[in-house]
Every structure is written in C-alpha cells, then in structure tokens.
Chain A
C-alpha cells in the first residue's frame, strides 16, 4: 500500500517510502526491496552536468528519470534535481526531494547544506543554521557549508564567529581560486573581510592580493582591498592604485560613495 508520512516540519509527503508490493495477476508474490546503486554512469554524470548548465528542465528530467529508474535513491540525481528546483525558487519541491534523499543518506553533508539553503530561501534562517552546522559536523572541511555559514555570520558582522568557517572555506577553495571560480572568489573575499575586521591586516592583505591576481576587476574585491589598505593599513600608496582602478571602471553609486570617503580620508590625513 502506498504510505505517506506527514512531516510536521514542512508537511512533507515522503513518497520515497513507497516500497511497492504490487499484486501481479496469477502469481502474486511480495516483492523484495529494490537494490540500491550508488554508482552513476559517467555518461549520465556528463548529461546531468550539461542539463544543469543548460538550465533545461526537460533535459535534466530525462537524465534524472533514467538514473532514478534504476536507482530511485541515487544521491546525485536527487540532489541535482532538488537544487535545480531550488535555483528555480521551487523551494517546496526542492525540500520534498531533499527530504527524500536525506532518508537514504542522512549523513550527507551536501544534503544538509542544500536543505539549509532551501530553508534560507523560505526565510527560515533559524531552521537553516543547524543544518549548516550538521553538514560541518559530518564533514569538518565541507567547504561549501563552511562558506555559507561563514558568509551568513559575516552578513551579521559576527566576524569572530565567521572567521573559523570562512577559513575552512578559504582553504577548501584555494585550488578553485586559481581557476577563477566565482564561489572561490566570494569565499576568499569574505575571508579577507573577516580578517580585516579582526585587525589581521597583513593576512587580509595577502589574501586580497591573491584575489586581485586571480580577478583584478571585481569592484567589490577591489573596494574591500582599498578599505583595508587605506582605512586600516594607512597604505595610501597602494590604496590609491586600487582607487584609481575602481574609479575608472566602476559606476556603482555605493562604491563611488565609498571611494569618495576613502579619498577624503586620504586627503584629510595628507592634509
């Protein structure tokens, strides 16, 4: 019989509990549980990547169907599907799928991280934070959840609290930083900002310098670097260079305002 469970957390129907026992006419026998396959074919893997990259639901569903048809508990397929819907702001469905996956893989840091993101999307920050922690509890160097958590703390200017997580993220993303990954850039930037706020200027500077090497055009990174150099390290010389670059390339009013403040500060000192 089809069983469904009402989850008080989010009224989730765990449809994944359907361990079907279907009566075949004539020779009815109960079925055994379907075997779980963890592996995924490399072609399917590739197809999933391409479908995700193309943002084509049809393409993604095709691959996911194929994978789940032989392995309805396939972690990668379920996770990819869930996060696809997450990116489409279909948080409810994403939550359903992640819950289904969590039943099979309760110790997956990725799932906890992703579920936290979904809750954040549903403005349920309070419920999200424990999940980030859970992810890190399961895997101490889970860089993604570390970065997410760290940035969340950073958002609330809880620099102390955020630094340990941002550091994990920074270390975890160092390789990707070299390839210019956006996520790595952001994580590294946040780390540098935390270092700056906590008075570890030299470290912050080093990090900013690495950042600028990888991406010398990101205005937010440049601005943050400038703030460090000018406001914290009083290194106007370097600061000016950054400012000059920013002024030239950036139109954002907020950034421009801050630039003016920095310039005023420099000129005030100079004066």
Chain B
C-alpha cells in the first residue's frame, strides 16, 4: 500500500503525485472508514485490494451491496460517464504499466457495470466515487504517458532532430477527468450531506485544476475548507492552493497556504508545507527565514528516520529532509559565510553530510561567481584530505574560477599548484594510482587546462608582441612539456610552441619542435603544417648564397653541410616524402637541390633538378633547375652529360618554347662546341675533331657551324686522320653561307695540301691551281700555281703544267720565279717542241738566274737545240757559252755543271774529229805526205782538245773522249789503208808498198785498240756506260776479234721495282 513512486519534484508531476497520493490516501481513508464502521466485504474493501503496481490480479467474487431503492439520480446520466467501449492502451504491451492499465480498465468497466446495476441504490454514490477515482487514476496514467511522449518529442525538437514542434494534447486524459467531475458533481448533488462530501469537493477541485479551470478548482477547494474545516482534505486543498499560487509565482499568496499546512504538525503534508514555505521565503528574499524552515524540514526528517517512521501514504519526511539538505546549500550560500559553512552543516545536517554539503556549497559558490567563498571552501576540502580523489577537482575549480576572472597572478599560482600537486608525477597521483579512471580523468583535465592556458598565453603573446607575454607563453610551454610527456596533445603543443618560437624568430628551436611532431606523431593533423614550417624555419637560418660561395670557395669538390643545413635537408626530405605532390613540394625540392648545388654535391642536385623540370615543367623552378643542371655539367666539363641533360630538358615543351629553352639550345650549342674545344685544349685531337664534326652536323644552322667544320678539319689533321680532315674542309668549302670567307679560304688551301699528303696528286694539282686562281692577289697563293705546275708536270699533263708555271711566273715576285721558265723549257722539251723549248731556255738564260747549275744546263740545252736545228754556228756559240759560264761560276770546292761543260767541250772538240775525217789522203803520192801531216796535226789537236775534255773528269766524257781518240786513230789507220794503190807497181813492189802501208797504219790501229781498251776500262771503272762505251767495245771487237763481247746471248734488261711485299 505504501508503494512509493519516485519521481522528480516537478510542477507537472506534482499534481499527478498529489492525486495519486490523495488517491492512496483516499483509499486509506476508506480503509479507515471501513474500520470505523466495522464492516467488511464492501466495495471499498474490494477496491482496496487492488494493488497499484501489482501484476497479479486476484479477482474475487463480486458482492453486491445492500441498498434500498431511493429512486434514480436526477443529475447523472450514466451514459456520460460510460467508459469507452474500446479503451486505448497507452503503455506497451507486456510492460508493468500496461498490466496496471489493463487492470485499471477492467476495474473501470466493472465499476461502471456496478453503477449501472445499482444506479438506483442508496449506495450508488460510493460506486460513483470509486468509479471517479478510477477515472482519475486512468487520467493520471494517460497524462503521465502523454507527458513523457511530449517531453521526448520536445527534446528532439530542441536538439534539431525533429523539425516538428510537439504539442501537448491532454485531451485523452482530460476526458477521464471530465467523467470524474461528472461523477463527483453528481455525488454532491445527490448526496449533499454525505460525509464523503469533502472527498468529492477535493477531487472536484483537483479535476478542475487538471482541466485548467483554476477558478472552479479553487472554488471547490474553498468550499471544502468552509464546509469541512476539519477534513483531512483541507490541508490537501490548502497545499494544492499553495501549489497553484507557487506555480503562478505568487510567492506571497502561496506562502500563506503553505504555512497553514505547516502549522499542523500532524498534517500529512506538514513537512512538505515547511519545505514549500522555505522556498516561498527564499523567493520572497527572506532567505534566512527560508533557511530556518529548511532546517525544520531536516529536523523532522531526522526525527522520522530515527523513529523509522516514513510518512505513510504521503511525501516522506525523510525524502523531503534529504531534498531540504540539498537545498540547504543554495539557501546557505545566500546568507551564510563560507568560513562557517562546515560548522553550520555539521550542526544542521550532521557530520556525515558536512563534506558533501561543503562540496556542494563550494561548487555553488563557484558556479555563482563567489570565487572567494568557493576558494575558501575548496581549500578547506583539500585540506581535509589532500589525497582525496576529488582533491584535484577542488583545486581545478579554483583554477577554473580564476581563469575567467582575469586575475592572472592568482590564476597562475593556483594553476601551478594544481599541476604540481595533482599532475602525473605528483604524490596525489601516486596515492590514487590504482584508480586509473580517476588519474586519467585528472590528467586529462589538468592537461587540457594547462594546454588551453598555454595556448591562450600564446595568443596573447602573438597579439601583444610584448616580451613579457612571450616569456610567459614560453614558460607555459616548457611547463607543459615537463609535466606531460605522454599526452595525446603533445603534437599540438609542440606545433604551437614551434609557432611561437617561429614568431620569436627562434627558428632553430622552432624547427626542432616542428620536427618533433613529424617524428613522434606522423599521423597528427599538424604533421603537414609542422613539416612545412620546419622547412620554413630552417630556411630562415640557411646561409646566403654569398656566404656559401665564400665558404665553398673555388673548389668543385663536394663540401659537407653544416648542422643547420643538415637539419634543413632532413626536414625537407621528410616533407617531400610525406607530401610529394603538395603545392609547396616543388619549391622545397628546388631549394634543397640548390643547396646541393652550391655545396658541390652535384649528383644529388642533379637528381632533384631533373625531378623538378620533368615533373613540374610549368613551374617557375623548372627553368632555374634546368639552368643549374646545365651549369653543373659545365663545371664538371662533362659535355656529354650536358648535352644529354639539355636534350632531356628540351623534351619538355614548356621549357623548350620558353626563354630558357632558347638559352639552353644556345648553351647546348656552345657547350657542344666547348666540349670540342676542351678536348682540343687537352690535346685529345681526334675526340675534339669528332665533337666538332658532330656539332656541325647537329647544329647546321648555328653561326658556329662553319667554324666547327674548320676546327674539325684541323683537329682531325692533328689527330692523324687526314681523310676526315679533308672531308671536313671539303664540306666547309661547299657550305652555302657567305660568312667565314677566311675559313673557307684556308680550307681550300688545306684541301690542296691534304690531297697531296694523301697521295691524290691529281686532285692536289687541281686544288692548288684553284686556290691560286681564287686568290691571285695573295702573295702566298701564287706559289700554289708553282706546286700545281710541278704536279701536272709529274703527271705528264704538260699543258696544264705550262699554264700554271706561266701564271706563277707572271704573278710571283719571288726571286726564283725565273725557275719557272726553266721548267717550262723542260716541259716543252718533253712535248717535243724544240722551238718553244728553245724560247724558254733563252728566256731563262736572259733572266740571268741565280741557279748556276740550271744556267749551265740551259746553255748546253740551247746549244743542243741549235745543233739539232742545224744551226751549227749558234750551237757552237752556246757550247762555248756553256763552257765559259761553267768556268766562271763553278768553284773547285763546289763544282757545278761539270758534266754539262764537259759535254759542251766534247761537242766542240768533235768538230776537230770531223775535220780530221774530212781530210782525204789523195792518191797522188806527192800530195799524200802533206795531207797526212795535216791529218796528224788534226789528230794531235784532237788529242789535246780531248785531253782538256778528259780534264773535266766526267766519266761519260772520258769514255767518249777515249773512244773518239780511238776512232781517230782508227780513222787514221783506215785512211792509210784506204789510200789507192799506185798503179805502176809490180807484185814485189806492191808487196813492199803494202807492207810499208801496214807499217804506217798499224801503229795507228794499235793506238786505236789501246784507246778503245782504255775507254772500256775507264767506262767500267767509272761506271760510265754509254753509247761511247758500246762503240769502244764494238770497234775493239772489230779490231781484235779475240775481244768479242757479244756472243749473241739474250740478256734481260731487268728493271725490277721493289714493291716492299705488295
């Protein structure tokens, strides 16, 4: 019976509670009444047995009441109070509430049935009351349920979960109130003097209030008070009125009613009345008075508890007392002092509640802004038990309070205390270490508080830029890091610390903290920014290019990074690895690459630059990277690499068509050329030539092409490949450009020379001639006519030779130009043109050449030519000239023209021989002697003259001279023998005559033989084998048959060349 339903003290629930309470009370009243009457087995009894919460239904047999007929009611139409034919269940099937509702419905149906059955009974009123109670209960159930649903929908609406604003529609529940009202009114009507009239009046008041008809409800409550002043329902109604005014916030009106209820210690609602009075006083600003009422409530509760007496069927004094205890804090906070709080609580609430209440009061103070009070109480709480699990929170409250107030000093001190006393390393933490949840929670709170504080300081520092603020912020971060080594927010803190340091231009330290994030919390949301900012921080510390240059100097060897740059490198690499495609990556990558470049770490630089210009050709860094790439290769003098790199760069259309692309093309050109030049400088001629050649082929439009061709030729020559050199010069010569005329001219010259060197004499001659022809004004080139002439001469191309010699002679200012005349004369001889030959020999002779040998030879040649022409006189003159010139210009120590002079002399002497031969010995004996003497004189003369020829000591002329002498002697002998025999001689005389002739002739013959022999000997000795030698042999063999040199054998005149194995 005394089932209590626990609920919140809530206006909307109050009435339900009250109604139910009253219902229960009503039921209790019935029970009391029943006890008074001593009757059992009544409807009331029956009804009493219905448990409010019981699931089991023990249905007993209905007993009909005794009644007498007094006639039917005049005021109640039972149909109006008929329960719905189909009652809606408002609770879920299967639930306790549903079972209760079912039971209630069942009871209603039963009760209604009874009212119908006993509609005329005198006791029908009780049935009406019972039915009305059931309707009220049903109404309450429905209202409770609807209220709940409304609250849920409202919450959803407020949270945005639902867009539909709910409305509380209590029509369903109110319909039951209506029925109850009809029943109650009917009861009063029909039974105006019934002792249960107070019940009816009360419930009418209640129901009208339920129907929001406060005026009517109030009137019924007042009527109750008037008609039944001693009714237990009077306190109920007063309380209800008090509630009515309380809800209206008419505290003054409400307090009166409550006080009336509170005046009756026996009243069921006595404690409640005190409680509500306390609150009215509070509302009226009379907190002290209110506090007193609360104290009374507490005392009542304490007493009730001590008596183990819970208010039966109504609000529990103990419960109210506990509510009053809770409210005590609120009241005390208004009027009490924090210093006395504990003692007060101890007095009023007892020791066991002191801590709780003090804590509540402390929190209350904190919430309401009473920092001082809160601080005092929290400090007391801490002092009470410094290692209490809540101690950290107490201190936190203090910290929190001062956080918002702007009293920075106090806040800092409290914060610091909080951290040191309750931080992860604190004694408190150790003591409470087993309570892991507590420690975690505490740490989290401390950490978040400190963190927020530090970040706030940071913001302040950033905004104010004052040193003081900055120092505070720095100190805060350091404290944080010293305190929390494992916090999940470390990444954030390191990041922001780094940000602060960055602002303070402490870049190195900032970078350290940025990098901490990356190294320890790579998944942190700050990682990307940290990496980037680490790079930016360290970038600030990087040395300037000028400093780097000074440090590195002229060396091209790699120089190691210093600490800062290494750090930058590390940060950059980390960033690039994590965010290879980020918009900043290119710039960072390039920066790193440029550092490698400046420190001569070229291999690394190249890798990066290549990445930049191949993957990001549109970026501004692509051009820079391209430029530096080429520079590296240039520094290394790696022109092969430079060319390759250049080609690779130009593959990128953006770069190829850009300004840098043109520069690169130019550079490549020049690099290619330079490569060749460097090879040349290094005396690697062949490679240089190849490089020049390659350049000229690949860069055919370049202004350096022809120079490259020329240089290729030169270097091929130097490298020993004349063929290739020739090729290049020929190509240059064929080039259409009119520039580089000088190079082409030189090329033409070299072509001629190279033709000659490579054995292509015909081409050489042509080339010499062409060069000379194209450069006739060139002093040197005239000589090329001469060269051409010589070669043409050797090739038996006589006319061309003559032309060239002539041009040379005409154009040359050399002292030896006349030699050309001599050569031309020779050529004419070969051409078998004696006239022209003679002409040029004469020209040459007339030019008075310095060449003595040629001069002598010329004179002899002229003599021979004249002789061949039959111009003997001129021939003799020239033979004589030959001899004279030779005599004049030849020196004993350096004889010249000896053979020619000897030849000339011999030819002149030969005349003597001819003259000798021309003298015939006549047949007349008398004349013979004289003629013989003449002949002998010629012979002598011939011998003397030939002796002078022999004096020249020329082998050929010696043999010739000796042979001629032999011939002369032989002629003498023959001439003698040829003399006709005298006619008148007899045989004896003839014989004698013949012997006499023989005696004369034989010595000549012998001399002839002797001279012939000598000629042959000399010929052999001097190896002067000539026609005279043969003649001597021949004549000798005629004169002396034993000296036959020729037996008729066939001799092979071998002219065997030595081909050296070919």
| Binary CB contact string for chain B from 790 to 803 against chain A (1 if under 8 A, 0 otherwise) | 11011110000000
A114 partner, pick from B710, B790, B1048, B1057, beta carbons under 8 A? B1057
Among B681, B794, B1024, B1045, the most chain A Cβ lie within 10 Å of the Cβ of: B794
Whether A161 lies near B1020 (C-beta < 8 A) is yes
8 Å CB interface, B981-1024 against A = 1019-1020, 1023-1024
* Interface of B: prevailing SS: helix
Q: Which residues of B contact A183 (CB under 8 A)?
A: 1054, 1056
Whether B794 lies near A76 (C-beta < 8 A) is no
A32 interface residue (CB < 8 Å to B): yes
B753 interface residue (CB < 8 Å to A): yes
A242 interface residue (CB < 8 Å to B): no
A227 partner, pick from B680, B723, B1045, B1047, beta carbons under 8 A? B1047
Whether A93 lies near B1050 (C-beta < 8 A) is no
Whether A186 lies near B1054 (C-beta < 8 A) is yes
Q: Which residues of A contact B787 (CB under 8 A)?
A: 4, 13, 15
Q: How far is the CA of A261 from the CA of B1046 in the complex (A)?
A: 14
B758 partner, pick from A65, A90, A157, A196, beta carbons under 8 A? A65
Binds A, one of B163-171, B264-272, B713-721: B713-721
Whether A15 lies near B758 (C-beta < 8 A) is no
Whether A190 lies near B723 (C-beta < 8 A) is no
Whether A93 lies near B760 (C-beta < 8 A) is no
Whether B743 lies near A126 (C-beta < 8 A) is no
| Binary CB contact string for chain B from 760 to 787 against chain A (1 if under 8 A, 0 otherwise) | 1100100000000000000010010011
A269 interface residue (CB < 8 Å to B): no
Determine how close the nearest CB of chain B comes to the CB of A18; give it in whole angstroms: 5
Determine how close the nearest CB of chain B comes to the CB of A74; give it in whole angstroms: 9
Whether A45 lies near B758 (C-beta < 8 A) is no
A110 interface residue (CB < 8 Å to B): yes
Whether B796 lies near A90 (C-beta < 8 A) is yes
Q: Which residue of A lies closest to B820 (CB)?
A: A11
Q: Which residues of B contact A6 (CB under 8 A)?
A: 816, 819
Count residues of chain B with CB under 8 A from any CB of chain A. Answer: 79
Whether A11 lies near B1047 (C-beta < 8 A) is no
Q: How far is the CA of A111 from the CA of B714 in the complex (A)?
A: 31
Whether A114 lies near B1054 (C-beta < 8 A) is no
Binds A, one of B252-260, B456-464, B638-646, B1025-1033: B1025-1033
Whether B1047 lies near A75 (C-beta < 8 A) is no
Q: Which residues of A contact B1026 (CB under 8 A)?
A: 125
Whether A144 lies near B1057 (C-beta < 8 A) is yes
8 Å CB interface, B820-837 against A = 822-823
Q: Which residues of B contact A113 (CB under 8 A)?
A: 1056-1058
Q: Which residues of A contact B179 (CB under 8 A)?
A: none
Decide: A64 near B758, CB < 8 A? Known: A27-B680, A69-B724, A70-B723. Answer: yes
8 Å CB interface, A89-111 against B = 89-97, 109-110
Decide: A66 near B723, CB < 8 A? Known: A20-B753, A25-B710, A93-B794. Answer: yes
Q: Which residues of B contact A117 (CB under 8 A)?
A: 1055-1057
Decide: A22 near B746, CB < 8 A? Known: A4-B786, A76-B1062. Answer: yes
Q: Which residues of A contact B1057 (CB under 8 A)?
A: 83, 86-87, 113-114, 117, 144
Decide: A2 near B710, CB < 8 A? Known: A52-B1059, A120-B1055. Answer: no
8 Å CB interface, A7-47 against B = 8, 11-13, 15-16, 18, 20, 22-27, 29, 31-32, 34-35, 37, 45
Q: How far is the CA of A144 from the CA of B1048 in the complex (A)?
A: 25
Whether A12 lies near B1049 (C-beta < 8 A) is no
* Shortest beta-carbon contacts, A-B, top 8: A93-B794, A92-B794, A69-B723, A220-B1050, A110-B1058, A186-B1052, A69-B722, A157-B1045
A-B contact pairs, 16 of them (CB 8 A): A8-B853, A12-B790, A25-B710, A66-B723, A69-B724, A79-B1058, A83-B1059, A109-B1058, A117-B1057, A142-B1058, A144-B1056, A147-B1054, A158-B1025, A193-B1049, A197-B1049, A227-B1047
On A, residues with C-beta under 8 Å from B are 1-2, 4, 6, 8, 11-13, 15-16, 18, 20, 22-27, 29, 31-32, 34-35, 37, 45, 48-49, 52, 61, 64-66, 68-72, 75-81, 83, 85-87, 89-97, 109-110, 113-114, 117, 120-121, 125-126, 129, 142, 144-145, 147-148, 151-158, 160-161, 183, 186-187, 189-190, 193, 196-197, 220-221, 223-224, 227, 231, 255, 258, 261
